[in-house]
């Protein structure tokens, strides 16, 4: 067993860490305050190959492995959680199904510009009545000649307000349940009948837009079908597994930021004539944070290694995402406690980390769903 990084992995890690410290972290507070999309950061991440880390170079990516992806995404999210989730969606939730199931022509049109960092992608799955129960989709795609006519409303779509490319989950026949689900590649800029609906007001990841996508007799060419009819649900599950590694890395990055801020503040804050870092109560909080975050990192790297080696990584991805997001949430709450009254004020980033961490326990599958996934794998259930 070798815990050392390859020369390439270490090089990427060092590069992204510098970029996060010098260009992302200094503006994270402003992005949170203004809610603006960090377009300039996204374009630079694209230039660095980070919007398609494991996508082949032929299709605009960097052609690296998923271990490198976890390392890089953790650093980006350490700088800004919103930037982290945008990068995660481009790479995994959107990028994975196009990379794995698209034709060459589809990849050149829909994967290349996203993996190259020219535009953002999104995955339109969730609906008002289909969250954890992803098979209960009601967004309808009816084939008429050489087009699918799409009607439905998607909710809580990350990057939906800025994305140019979309993987859309829809059903050809609701009575067929999951067997009727298909995925369509949609050019959101040039699709008659599509519009962006409400932009959600959230408590965290405020520079990452979360939008409603509205399809009213929207016309999508049949050639944009991803794979074959009836394969959509399987594609969805595989894409979500990849996405869970990304969200786990996002959570890990948030936790790392909390730990760094807490360590620095504990050395500076003086009470009873000494730095609070000298108090055992504070030391134990820091020790617990560091231990849980290191454990989360190992789980995520294991899941990424499994994916790189073509192994089934469903359980490992669920474990990594679940544990990392729980660890990040616990760390962020303790971070606020260490900062005391200042932790509850916007002068310091502690409160932002706590707001950002919470969503990681919810999206890409709630942690309750992940526990079900893990248990079923352990029990040999389907």
Q: Which residues are catalytic?
A: 364
* Cα separations in angstroms, 56 against 91, 115, 210: 12, 9, 28
**Whether 91 contacts 146, CB under 8 Å:** no
Give the span between the Cα atoms of 180 and 42, in whole angstroms: 35
* CA 117 centroid distance within chain: 16
3-state SS of 275-307 is EHHHCHHHHHHHHHHHHHHHHHHHHHHHHHHHH
Look at the alpha carbons of 12, 29, 257, 321 in this order and tell me if their dihedral is positive or negative: negative
Give the span between the Cα atoms of 17 and 48, in whole angstroms: 12
Give the span between the Cα atoms of 337 and 344, in whole angstroms: 9
Element (H, E) at 144: strand 140-144
* CA 314 centroid distance within chain: 16
- DSSP-derived secondary structure for 216-285: EEEEEEGGGB-SSTT-HHHHHHHHHHHHHHHHHHHHHHHHHHHHHHHHHHHHH-EETTEEGGGSHHHHHH
Give the span between the Cα atoms of 211 and 132, in whole angstroms: 18
Q: In 3D, which of 99, 88, 63 has the Cα closest to residue 248? A: 88
């Amino acid at each position: 067993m070798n815990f050392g990084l390859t020369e390439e992995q270490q090089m990427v890690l060092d590069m992204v860490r510098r970029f996060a410290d010098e260009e992302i972290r200094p503006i994270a507070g402003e992005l949170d305050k203004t809610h603006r999309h960090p377009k300039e950061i996204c374009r630079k991440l694209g230039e660095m190959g980070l919007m398609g880390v494991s996508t082949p170079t032929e299709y605009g990516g960097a052609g690296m492995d998923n271990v490198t992806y976890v390392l890089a995404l953790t650093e980006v999210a350490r700088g800004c959680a919103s930037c982290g989730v945008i990068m995660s969606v481009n790479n995994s939730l959107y990028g994975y199904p196009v990379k794995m199931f698209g034709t060459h022509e589809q990849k050149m049109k829909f994967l290349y510009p996203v993996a190259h960092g020219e535009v953002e992608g999104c995955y339109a799955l969730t609906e008002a009545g289909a969250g954890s129960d992803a098979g209960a989709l009601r967004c309808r795609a009816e084939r008429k000649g050489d087009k699918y006519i799409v009607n439905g409303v998607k909710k809580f779509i990350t990057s939906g307000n800025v994305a140019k490319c979309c993987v859309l989950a829809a059903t050809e026949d609701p009575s067929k349940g999951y067997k009727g689900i298909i995925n369509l590649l949609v050019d959101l800029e040039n699709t008659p009948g599509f519009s962006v609906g409400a932009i959600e007001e959230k408590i965290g990841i405020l520079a990452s837009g979360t939008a409603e996508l509205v399809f009213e007799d929207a016309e999508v060419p049949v050639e944009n079908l991803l794979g074959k009819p009836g394969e959509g649900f399987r594609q969805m599950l595989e894409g979500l597994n990849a996405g869970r590694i990304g969200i786990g890395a996002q959570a890990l990055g948030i936790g790392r930021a909390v730990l760094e801020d807490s360590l620095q503040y504990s050395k500076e804050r003086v009470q009873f004539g000494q730095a609070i870092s000298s108090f055992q109560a504070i030391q134990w909080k820091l020790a617990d944070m560091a231990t849980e975050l290191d454990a989360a990192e190992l789980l995520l790297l294991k899941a990424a290694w499994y994916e790189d080696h073509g192994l089934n990584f469903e359980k490992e991805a669920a474990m990594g995402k679940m544990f990392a997001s729980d660890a990040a949430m616990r760390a962020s709450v303790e971070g606020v406690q260490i900062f005391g009254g200042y932790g509850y004020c916007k002068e310091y980033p502690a409160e932002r980390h706590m707001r950002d961490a919470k969503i990681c326990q919810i999206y890409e599958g709630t942690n309750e769903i992940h526990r079900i996934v893990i248990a079923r794998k352990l029990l040999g259930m389907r």
